[in-house]
Structure 1
Amino acid sequence: MSGEVLVDVQGQRIRLSNLDKVLYPDAGFTKGDVIDYYSRVAPAITPHLAGRPVTFRRFPDGVAKPGFFDKNASRHAPDWIKTAAVRTPGSTTGAESLDFALLDDLPSLVWAANLAGLELHVPQWLVGPRGGRGNPDRLVFDLDPGAPATIVECCPVALALREALTEDGLTPVVKTSGSKGMQVYAAVTTSTAERTSNYAKALAERLEEAMPDLVVSRMAKDLRRGKVFIDWSQNSPNKTTVAPYSLRARPLPTASTPVTWAEVAACESVDDLTFTADDVLDRLDDLGDLFAALVEPGPRLPQ
C-alpha cells in the first residue's frame, strides 16, 4: 500500500501515506508497522505525553538516513491537534516561541507516527494553564555508558540511585533508553524550576565520590571512558528526554522500555535489557505500565 489511505481515528480523519515504506531496513519494519505500534501502545504512552510539549525526531527516509528534530507543529498540524506556544530562548530559528504539539490522545499519536516521528522527546514539566512552563514534576537521571561500558555497567549505578532516592522518600522507576543506556525517574513536587537540577547534581556528585571507578558526574568526554556518566543536566527546563515507550532510531525498532528493578539487578548482558516494539507490546500485556507511578503527584524533594 504505497499510496494514501484516509482513516477515521476516534472521529478524526487522518490521511496516511507510504505505509509500505521501510523505515528500519535491518528489520523490514515499515511506516505502517510504526503506526500500528504507536496505535497499540497508545494507552500506555499517552499518560506520559499528556500536557507535555513534544519534540519529534523524524526519519521520513528511514533510520539509515539522517533524521531531524522538529519542534514547530504549526507548520503541518491539522487544526484539531492541541499545541502549546512555548518560549524558546536561544532557538536556532530566532523565534521567541514555537508551537509544540501535545500528543494527549490516539488520533494525535497516529498523526505523529504518520510524519515518521519515530522518537518522541518531552520535558520534565507540564504546560501551565496559560501556556507557560510549570515547575518540574519529574526527576530524571540519564545514565550514559562510555565505551567499552554498556547498559550492564549502568545497572549497579541505577541500583545505587534507587537506594538513595528511596531513602529520601521518593519512588524511583527505571527504563532503558532504547539506545545505549538507561534512565531513572521519580515523581516529585517542586516550587522552583532549578530545584530538580540542583538535587540531581548533588546526588550525582555524591555517587561519583562513592563509586569513583564506575561513576562520573562531569560532562567532559575524556573522563567517561569505561564509566557511567550520570547526566543530571537533563533536569534543565530547556532539555527533553525520550518518552517511555518511544521508538528509537536504531538499526532495529527498539524502544525506551520500563523495566523492573529485579531485571536491573539480574542483568548480565546487553541483550537482557534490549527490547523491540513487539517485546514492549508483549510486556505491557504481561506487566502493565511499570511507569504508572510517575503520573501521580510526587512528594517534595528533601533539602
Structure 2
Amino acid sequence: MPQVYVEKRKLRLTNLSKVLWPDDGITKADFINYLAQVSPYILPHLKDRPMVFTRYPDGIYGKAFYQKNIPEYEPEWLETFETISDEDKIIRYAVINDKESLLWAANQASIELHPWLSRKGAPDCPDFAVFDFDPMENTDFEDARELALALKKLLDLQGLKGFAKTSGATGLQVYIPLEPVYTYEDVRIFTGFFCRVLEKTFPEKATTVRSVDKREGKVYLDYLQNIKGKTIIAPYSPRPRKGAPVSCPVTWEELEEGVTPDMFHIKNMSERLRQKGDLFSGVLTQRQRIDKWLK
C-alpha cells in the first residue's frame, strides 16, 4: 500500500488501480489526482461544513452507500462535527478543511461530496439558499436551463445575485449567498415564494408538487432542499455517471448560449479552472439579506 505525505501528514492510499468509471477507464488514482488538482477551488466550498459522502468502493456500477457517520478508522487528525439525530443517536460528520482530509475522503471512493448548507459554527443558519431544478420523466436539462434563466430575471428585478451550476446529472442549481442570520425555515419561505412564482408563470413546465407520480413532464422545483441536515452536491464534485461529469459552476452567459452538463467532466475541469477561476467564489463573499421577503 503506497504511503504519501500531504501537507506533512501521512496518507495510506489503497486499490489505486481500481477502475471507478469503467466506460472511461478512470481509476481511483485518477480520481484522487483530480481532487488534488482542484483542491484549491473546492476546499473553500467545503470549509467548516459537515459532510455526507456517497461511496462507490466497486466503481459507479457497483454497490454504493450513503455515509454520514465517519468510520472508526478515520485518522486522528480528521476534523469532525457531532450532532444528535431525530432518533437521539450521535452522528459524527467529517469536516473537510484541508487537502489531506479531502484526499482521505477520495481514498474511501467518496465520489459524491455533499456539504451542509450551513457551517459548524452556526449550524442552524445556512449561508446560502438553493434553488434545485430537477427534471422529471419526459423533461431534460434544457427545461431546467430555461427555468433557471427565468429565475435569473426574477432575481435581477429584486436586486438579488444568484450563481448557477450544473448538477453533473440532468439538473441545475442556483445559489443565493446569504448573511448567516436566517433559519432554515426562513430560507424555505424565501425560496418557496420564488418557486411558486415560477410554477404559476410556467404551469406546463414547472411544479412544486411533492408527489412524484404527479411531476411527469415537468421540472421539480425542490426548495425543500433547504432543510437542516439536507445536503447538495458540492461544486466540482464528480458524479457516478458515464463520462465522469462534474457539478460545474457556469456563467449566466454560458447558460444562455446553451451549455450542456456533459461538457464538464474530470478530464477537462482542471483546465477550465485554470482559465476561468472559481466562478462560484461569489457564493462565499457576496452575502445578501432577504428580510423583506419574510415579512
Shift of 1:279: 2.1
Alignment of 1:197 onto 2:194: no
Match of residue 225, structure 1, among 216, 223, 231: 216
Shift of 1:59: 0.4
TM superposition score normalised by structure 2: 0.95
Contact 1:86–1:133 (CA under 8 A) maintained in structure 2: no
| Equivalent position of 1:163 in the other structure | 153
Report the Cα distance in structure 2 between the residues aligned to 1:139 and 1:75, rounded to whole angstroms: 33
* 1:224-266 deviation digits (Å, cap 9, x = unpaired): 2221111000011131111100111112211101111111112
TM superposition score normalised by structure 1: 0.92
| Equivalent position of 1:122 in the other structure | 115
Q: Evaluate the alpha carbon distance shift between residue 26 and residue 43 of structure 1 in structure 2; reply closer, same or farther with a 3 A threshold.
A: same
Report the Cα distance in structure 1 between the residues aligned to 2:178 and 2:159, rounded to whole angstroms: 10
> Taking every aligned residue pair, what percent have the same amino acid on both sides?
36
Contact 2:51–2:93 (CA under 8 A) maintained in structure 1: yes
Report the Cα distance in structure 2 between the residues aligned to 1:241 and 1:96, rounded to whole angstroms: 23
Contact 2:124–2:183 (CA under 8 A) maintained in structure 1: no
* 1:185-205 deviation digits (Å, cap 9, x = unpaired): 110123323111111111111
Shift of 1:161: 1.2
| Equivalent position of 1:300 in the other structure | 289
Report the Cα distance in structure 2 between the residues aligned to 1:86 and 1:250, rounded to whole angstroms: 32
| Equivalent position of 1:174 in the other structure | 164
Contact 2:124–2:228 (CA under 8 A) maintained in structure 1: no
Q: Which moved more, 1:185-194 or 1:173-182?
A: 185-194
| Equivalent position of 1:183 in the other structure | 173
| Equivalent position of 2:49 in the other structure | 52
| Equivalent position of 1:140 in the other structure | 130
Shift of 1:74: 4.8
- Secondary structure (helix, strand or coil) at the match of 1:17 reads coil
Alignment of 1:275 onto 2:272: no
Report the Cα distance in structure 2 between the residues aligned to 1:86 and 1:242, rounded to whole angstroms: 21
Report the Cα distance in structure 2 between the residues aligned to 1:257 and 1:76, rounded to whole angstroms: 32
Match of residue 102, structure 2, among 91, 96, 109: 109
* 1:89-111 deviation digits (Å, cap 9, x = unpaired): 24xxxx52211111111101110
- Secondary structure (helix, strand or coil) at the match of 2:194 reads helix
- Structure 1: which 5+ runs fail to align? none
Match of residue 39, structure 2, among 35, 42, 46: 42
* Root-mean-square deviation (Å): 1.5
| Equivalent position of 2:205 in the other structure | 214
Alignment of 1:62-101 (within 5 A): 62-90=59-87, 96-101=89-94
Report the Cα distance in structure 2 between the residues aligned to 1:67 and 1:42, rounded to whole angstroms: 24
* 1:131-158 deviation digits (Å, cap 9, x = unpaired): x614111100111111221111111100
Q: Which moved more, 1:31-40 or 1:164-173?
A: 164-173
Amino acid in structure 2 at the alignment position of 1:102: V
- Structure 2: which 5+ runs fail to align? none
Alignment of 1:61 onto 2:47: no
Report the Cα distance in structure 2 between the residues aligned to 1:27 and 1:98, rounded to whole angstroms: 35
Report the Cα distance in structure 2 between the residues aligned to 1:204 and 1:300, rounded to whole angstroms: 18
Work out the number of aligned pairs and report it.
291
Contact 1:64–1:251 (CA under 8 A) maintained in structure 2: no
- Secondary structure (helix, strand or coil) at the match of 1:194 reads helix
Report the Cα distance in structure 2 between the residues aligned to 1:71 and 1:213, rounded to whole angstroms: 37
